[in-house]
Structure 1
Amino acid sequence: MMKTIKFILLLAAILAVAWVTPALLRNPGLIQVELLGYQVQMTAIAAALLVAALFLIIWVAYALFKAPKTAVKNIKANVGRKKFARGLLALSEGKWAQAEKLLIQSVKQSPTPELSYMAAARAAVSQHNIEAAEQYLDQAEALIDNPLTVDLTRCEIWLKTGQADKAMPLLDLILKTYPNNPKAVHLLTQASQDSGQWQQLRNILPKAEKLKIINPEQAQLLNLQATEARFQTLDSVEHLMALWQGLNKKEQAHYLNQFCQHGIRVSAFQQVTEQIEKSQKTQFNNLLVDFWSELPHNLNHRLKVAEKWLSQHPSNPHVLMCNAKLQMAKKQWDQAESLLLKNMAISHSPESVKETNQLLGQVYQEQQQPEKALTHYRLAAKSSQAITVIDQNH
Structure 2
Amino acid sequence: MRSGLYIAAAMIIAGLLANIVLGDPGYVALRFAGRLIEMSAVTFGLVLIAGYFAVRLLIKVITARRAWKEAQEARRHERARRSFAQGILELSEGNWEAAETTLTRNVREAEYPAAHYLTAARAADLQGAAERRDELLQRALEVAPDRRAPALVMQAEVLLKHKQLQAALTTLEQLEATKEQNARGLLLLARVYRQLGDWQKLQALEPRLRSTRGITAAMADETVAQVHLDRLKDAGTQCDLNELKAAWKETSRSLAKHPEIVVTYARASMACGDHEAAESALRDCINKQWNESAVLAYGELETDEPLKTLDRAEGWLAEHGEDAALLFTCAQLATRAELYGKARSFLETSIAIRPRLEAYQLLASLMDQLGERERSVKALNDALAFAVGRKANLPKIRARRFQERRQSDRRRS
Residues 35-91 of structure 1: CA deviation (Å, up to 9, x unaligned):
xxxxxxxxxxxxxxxxxxxxxxxxx9xx98x987x6896576446424422321222
For residue 155 of structure 1, what is the aligned residue in structure 2? 156
1:268 to 254, 261, 272: 272
Q: 2:87 aligns with which of 85, 91, 94?
A: 91
Structure 2 distance, partners of 1:82, 1:279, is 64
Aligned partner of 2:124: which letter? Answer: A
Write out aligned runs for 1:69-148 (5 A).
77-78=73-74, 80-94=76-90, 96-110=96-110, 113-146=113-146, 147-148=148-149
Q: Deviations over 1:117-162 (max 9, x none)?
A: 4344334334332211211222333344433343234334445666
* Paired letter, 1:276: E
Shift of 1:187: 4.5
CA contact (8 A) 2:309 2:333 kept: no
Using the TM superposition, give the Cα deviation of residue 251 of structure 1 relative to its aligned residue in structure 2, in angstroms. 3.5
Equivalent pair of 1:353/1:380 in contact (CA under 8 Å): no
Q: Which amino acid aligns with 2:137?
A: L
CA distance, structure 1, for counterparts of residue 312 and residue 73 of structure 2: 86
Question: What CA distance in whole angstroms lies between the structure 2 residues aligned with 1:281 and 1:101?
Answer: 61
Alpha-carbon distance in structure 2 between the residues aligned to 1:149 and 1:353: 55
Name the CA distance, whole Å, in 1 between partners of 2:313 and 2:127.
Answer: 66
Q: Determine if the alignment matches structure 1 residue 383 to structure 2 residue 379.
A: yes
Aligned length: 298
In the alignment, the residues of structure 2 paired with residue 286 and residue 122 of structure 1 have an alpha-carbon distance, to the nearest angstrom, of 46
Q: Is the 8 A contact 1:117 1:140 kept in 2?
A: yes
Q: Which residue of structure 1 lines up, in the alignment, with residue 3 of structure 2? A: none
Gaps of 5+ in 2: 1-32, 34-57, 288-293, 318-326, 352-357, 391-413
1:92 positional shift: 1.0
Segments of 5+ residues of structure 1 without an aligned counterpart are 1-24, 26-59, 294-301, 327-335, 365-372
TM-superposed CA distance for 1:287, in Å, is 4.7
2:249 maps to 245
Query: Structure 1 residues 207, 291: CA separation in 2 closer, same or farther (over 3 Å shift)?
Result: same
User: Structure 1 residues 106, 314: CA separation in 2 closer, same or farther (over 3 Å shift)?
Assistant: closer
- Aligned residue for 2:299? 290
Contact in 1 for aligned 2:118/2:151 (Cα 8 Å): yes
TM-score by length of 2: 0.53
Distance change (3 Å), C-alpha of 1:289 and 1:192: closer
Amino acid at match of 1:92: I
1:325 is aligned to 2:336: yes
Displacement after TM superposition at 1:247 (Å)? 1.6
1:263-321: CA deviations, max 9, x gaps?
44xx411x34444357659978865653333xxxxxxxx44x22444677889975675
Change in CA separation of 1:225 and 1:86 when aligned onto 2, cut-off 3 Å: same
Match of 1:167 in 2: 168
Cα distance in 1, alignment partners of residues 149 and 77 from structure 2: 23
Structure 2 CA distance, aligned partners of 1:99 and 1:352? 56
Alignment of 1:174-323 (within 5 A): 174-175=175-176, 178=179, 181-185=182-186, 187-188=188-189, 195=195, 211=212, 213=214, 215-216=216-217, 227-228=228-229, 231=232, 235-236=237-238, 237=240, 240-253=244-257, 254=259, 255-264=261-270, 267-269=271-273, 271-276=274-279, 287=296, 290-293=299-302, 302-303=303-304, 305-309=305-309, 322=333
CA distance in 2, matches of 1:133, 1:268: 48
Aligned position for 2:365: 358
Change over 3 Å in CA distance of 1:383–1:201 after alignment to 2: farther
Partner of 1:369: none
User: Aligned equivalents of 2:186 and 2:164: distance in 1?
Assistant: 17
Question: d(CA) in 2 for partners of 1:203 and 1:154?
Answer: 24
- Amino acid paired to 1:91: G
Q: How does 1:18-97 map to 2 (within 5 A)?
A: 77-78=73-74, 80-94=76-90, 96-97=96-97
Q: Does the 8 Å CA contact 1:198/1:226 hold for their aligned counterparts?
A: no
Residue 231 of structure 1 and its aligned partner are, at CA, apart by 4.9
Q: Distance in 1 between matches of 2:157 and 2:297?
A: 44
Judge which range, 314-323 or 353-362, deviates more.
314-323
Q: Which amino acid aligns with 1:128?
A: G
C-alpha RMSD of the superposition: 4.9
User: Does the C-alpha gap of structure 1 residues 72 and 290 become closer, same or farther in structure 2, counting only changes over 3 Å?
Assistant: same
Distance 1:127 1:78, change over 3 A: farther
Task: Name the CA shift for 1:313/1:84 in 2 (closer, same or farther; >3 Å).
Answer: closer
CA distance in 1, matches of 2:342, 2:126: 67
Q: Residues 113 and 140 of structure 2 are in contact (CA less than 8 Å); yes or no, is this contact kept in structure 1?
A: yes
Mark the CA change 1:128 to 1:252 in structure 2 (over 3 Å): closer, same or farther.
Answer: same
Q: 2:360 and 2:138 mapped to 1: Cα distance?
A: 68
Distance 1:257 1:184 in 2: 31
Cα distance in 1, alignment partners of residues 96 and 142 from structure 2: 24
Matching residue's letter, 1:325: R
Q: When the two structures are superposed, what TM-score results if normalisation uses the length of structure 1?
A: 0.55
Report the CA distance between 1:243 and its aligned residue: 3.4
In structure 2, the CA distance between the partners of 1:341 and 1:174, relative to structure 1 (3 Å rule), is: same
